[in-house]
Amino acid sequence: MKHIYTCDLVPGKTIAEGLGMVRGSSVRARHMGRDIGAFFKGIVGGEVDDYTKLLAEAREQALDRMVEEAKALGADAIVGMRFCGTEIQRGAAEMLAYGTAVRLEKD
Amino acid sequence: MTPAAQHPSRDELLAMAYVDDQLDPAAKAEFEGRLSREEALREEVTSLRRLDLIARTAAPPENIDIAWKEVDESASQTSIIGLGWIATILGSVGVAAIAIQSVAQARLPLWERASIACLVSGLTIFFLAIARRRWRTRHMDPYTSVKR
């Protein structure tokens, strides 16, 4: 699905039908070796790239799950897409991606 | 894609169409049925999704990425990290041995020793089962290739 927008409309297109909310979530952790590395990086400062990667993995998986749900509904696009995150456990990242699946008017 | 023939096979074409959501509902359902049975097909789909993810998340390297790579791949850094890991693993084994020895030497009733042995064995078995699950499915996880 190419049309994922954070705004509430699809530029240049007309929304024909709203199909409801779609969402995808993911909780991911890295292995203990990476956590040890991240702990020491936290002491010396700078970007903790192990956790940057962890967050990116969770974000992309949540996004894909949301898109799969929209595809199953026969949607053409998702509007009003948002990400949110929370902490389930230390060293793990939870990302939730949600938005509204819509069907577009044919050109 | 099969290296011998530079043309994709029918299954590879089907997998590409599936990942691109180009199959009609009947073909999609049939393909998903095959996915649940054929590991080679699942691996093909995972590989295509990994490519899709790399294309989606690819970004030009930042200067700090290049600097990190240089440091991480330098002989001195790999030696230091390797040494750290060896010392940590040896230390962990040593501490575990001390703990086992302490329990063995303690004048504990048999049932207390048996309880400790059961707990340690149970946790080890749980850990091994979860590690096995991860080990066997890691290659099916396309998200491990996401950088940032």
In a domain, B96, yes or no: no
The answer to whether B68 contacts A49, with C-beta atoms less than 8 Å apart, is: yes
In a domain, B4, yes or no: no
Instruction: Return the structure tokens found at B57.
Output: 């998340």
The answer to whether A57 contacts B146, with C-beta atoms less than 8 Å apart, is: yes
Average predicted confidence (pLDDT) for chain A: 92
In a domain, B46, yes or no: yes
Return the CA Rg of chain B: 25
- Residue B108: CB atoms within 10 A of its CB come to 13
The answer to whether A61 contacts B64, with C-beta atoms less than 8 Å apart, is: no
pLDDT tens digits along A63-75: 999 999 999 999 9
In a domain, B136, yes or no: yes
pLDDT at B2: 53
CA distance B96 to chain A (A): 18
Domain that holds residue B27: 10-57
Please name the member of A47, A56, A71 whose beta carbon is closest to the beta carbon of B146: A56
Please name the member of B49, B88, B146 whose beta carbon is closest to the beta carbon of A53: B146
In a domain, B34, yes or no: yes
Q: What angle do CA B115, B117, B119 make, to 5 degrees?
A: 70
pLDDT tens digits along B71-113: 999 999 999 999 999 999 999 999 999 998 998 888 889 899 8
In a domain, B89, yes or no: no
Where do the structural domains in chain A lie, given as residue ranges? Answer: 3-28+57-104
How many structural domains does chain B have? 2
Exposure of A71 by Cβ count < 10 A (0-12 exposed, 13-18 middle, 19+ buried)? Answer: middle
The answer to whether B57 contacts A71, with C-beta atoms less than 8 Å apart, is: no
Chain A hits for B64, Cβ within 8 Å: 47
**Which residues, in sequence order, are CB contacts of A55 under 8 Å at separation 6+?**
A85, A93, A95
The answer to whether A57 contacts B143, with C-beta atoms less than 8 Å apart, is: yes
pLDDT at A75: 94
For an interface test with A, the pick among B130, B146, B147 (most A C-beta atoms closer than 10 Å) comes out as B146
CA pair distance B130, B119, nearest whole angstrom: 17
Chain A hits for B58, Cβ within 8 Å: none
- CATH number for the region A3-28+57-104 comes to 3.30.110.70
A105 phi/psi in degrees, rounded to 5 = -70, 140
Is A62's pLDDT higher than 60?
yes
Which residue has tokens 């903790």? Answer: A48
Interface pTM, i.e. ipTM: 0.83
Beta A92-104 vs A77-86: how paired, if at all? antiparallel
